[in-house]
Structures are given as C-alpha cells and as structure tokens.
Amino acid sequence: MISKKINIYSLVFFISLWSALAFAITEDEKNNIAVYEKAADGVVNVTSIAMQMDFFFNVFPSQGSGSGSIIDTKGHILTNHHVVANAQKLEVTLSDGSKWPAKLIGSDPDNDLAVIKIEAPKEKLKIIPMGDSKNLRIGQKVLAIGNPFGFERTLTTGVISSLGRTIRSEVGTLIEDVIQTDAAINPGNSGGPLLNSDGEIIGINSAIISPSGGSVGIGFAIPVNTAKKVIPELIAKGYVTYPWIGATIQPLLPEVAKFLKVSVERGAMIAEVAKGGPAEKAGLRGGNQRVQVGNTIVVVGGDIVVKADQHDVKTHDDLIRYIREKKPNDTITLKVLRKGKFEEVKVTLGERPRRR
C-alpha cells in the first residue's frame, strides 16, 4: 500500500516537473516580454486623412496609417514624415483605445522624421525612453513595435543586420548611418520604435525593401541620434535648418570623363546654379549644354569639383554629404576644374529654402 502511494506521488512529481519544463520561459523570452510591457503603451497608432481628386475632379478623403512613439509628457509624438505628409487631419489612438486629434508640430523630409502633438492628460502618456545609436553592433537583438496592417501594437524581433547604410528619402536626399534589421517591418510599422533589450528607442522604423510590399527581412530605421539632433528644432520652429550651396550637382563618372576628355575621372559637376544663390555669388559656373552619354543625360560645360576643404570629392554624394555637415554662413573652399585648369572658389553657404 505504501509502495503504491510512493509510485503515485512519484508520477505526480514527474508530471509536474515535465509540465514546468515544457512551459518554461527562456531568458530571451522573458526579455521580450519585459521590453514589450515597458514600451507598448507608449506606441501609438497615427491615422492621417488627406483629400485627393479622382479623374472626374471629385474630391474624396484618403486615409493612411502609421505608428509613433510618445517622447514626453507634453504629448509630443515622434513619427515619420511620410506618415503625416500632406495630411489635412491627424488622429492618434492610444493604447487604451482613446482617440485624440493631433497637430503637426514640425517635419523634416530629409530625414523622414516628424513630430506631432496631442492634448491628452499626462497620466495617459507613457513615455518611451531614447537610447543611443552610436555604439550599436551588428547581431545585436532589436525589437519593433508598431501597427502593421492596422494590427495595433504588434511585436516583432530580430537583429541588427547591418549598420551605416545610406538610403534616399522620398524627397531624394541621402539619409546616413541607417540601421538595417531583419525584424519584420510592414506597412503600418512606419514611424514606430526600434528598441534595444532595455526597451530604449535606438531607431525609427522607416522603410523596407520588398518586391511584394510585405516584409522580406530587409528593413531600415533612422538612428535615434539623428532624431535627437533634429527634434529640438522641429518643436521650436517646425522645421530643420540646412546649409545650401544653391546648385544642381551631377556625378562625374569615368565614362563621362572619357567622353568629355577632361583630366580627372571622378568628381561633382555643377550642372546649374540658382539665381542669387551662394554658388552664383561665389562665381561657380553651371553647365551650358546637355549631352547623352550612354543612357544618361548630363549637363556639361560647368565647373567640376574635385576637393572640398582638402577632402576628395569623387562623386556628387561626397560633396552633398560634406556640405550637409556644415551650417548656414559657413565658408568652404572648393577646388574646381574649369576649362582645363584648376581653380579655388570660396563659397559662403546659405540657408536652404524650406521644402513645401
């Protein structure tokens, strides 16, 4: 009788032990849960309504959806520029389901970032802390929270696949040091946070590469340090100030250089200078003729920039990057090839006209 009781107790023990092991949560899963519980309530759904016109000139509303992160108790929310661009009406849905009209505070198309604001009670505003994107490592775990296809506060996980990527914004400018991740990012995730294992924002999910329109494991996030740099300007004045040279620039590639029979193979060609702009005031010369080289139309006859303050300029992107690190009223010295001879031209940069 005693032996049978021992066997029953042993069976119950082993069943309990097996159940505990079968349903044990790993340390990584615990971290996923902790990050989600810490940050999810700070992720909002951003709905934008824009008015469009059909073929028959009938005006109708078009609705889009994205994500955003609450960044302070004043109701400021960080999201993507393309989530709120051209919106006549903005609405934010918080984690408790409450909906709040939102106001566009500032937008930076060049970095695909924007700040909007809602007038909600402080107790409803769950702030997501910002981390540091400077010392990220490839292979580091990341978590994305957003509203893909309207499914609110969805969590996906992955790793940092690469760092230092460069992508082009919707307005054509270069966005530097972009984070690449395989964490699933889909339509509706745009503007939502990419988080580290401490639940801090390290990036703002912005774009994907996908033939189908859905996630294939190649997503991009704007580094949070870029956001931290522009947010004060967006809140203070609604836009970000950028330096401006006042010229249209094209790349000089070896095949083009060979066709033009110039003494350098690479550089940045000044195609056109804006009237009254910094380039014109400095005496930079734009092109005067359009020619076709292979499948490319280039404007030739203008100055070819090969150095900027002793920094080599191999393509137009090199010059654009260098200028972007400066401030309005800074002066740079350009070494240019003009009619077969090298000259130096000093250009005092202006403030770039705002994008509309």
Q: Which residues are catalytic?
A: 82, 112, 190
- Residue with structure tokens 């902790």? 34
Burial of 276 (0-12, 13-18, 19+ CB in 10 A): exposed
Q: Are the C-beta atoms of residues 347 and 323 closer than 8 Å to each other?
A: no
What gap in Å lies between CA 337 and CA 302, rounded to an integer? Answer: 9
Burial of 218 (0-12, 13-18, 19+ CB in 10 A): middle
Kindly list the distances between the CA atom of residue 338 and the CA atoms of 254, 265, 306, 316, 344, in Å, as whole numbers in the listed order.
Answer: 17, 14, 11, 17, 10
What gap in Å lies between CA 191 and CA 287, rounded to an integer? Answer: 40
Alpha-carbon Rg of the chain, whole angstroms?
27
Q: Are the C-beta atoms of residues 76 and 322 closer than 8 Å to each other?
A: no
Q: Where are the alpha helices (DSSP H) in the chain?
A: 2-22, 27-39, 81-84, 224-237, 254-260, 278-282, 316-324
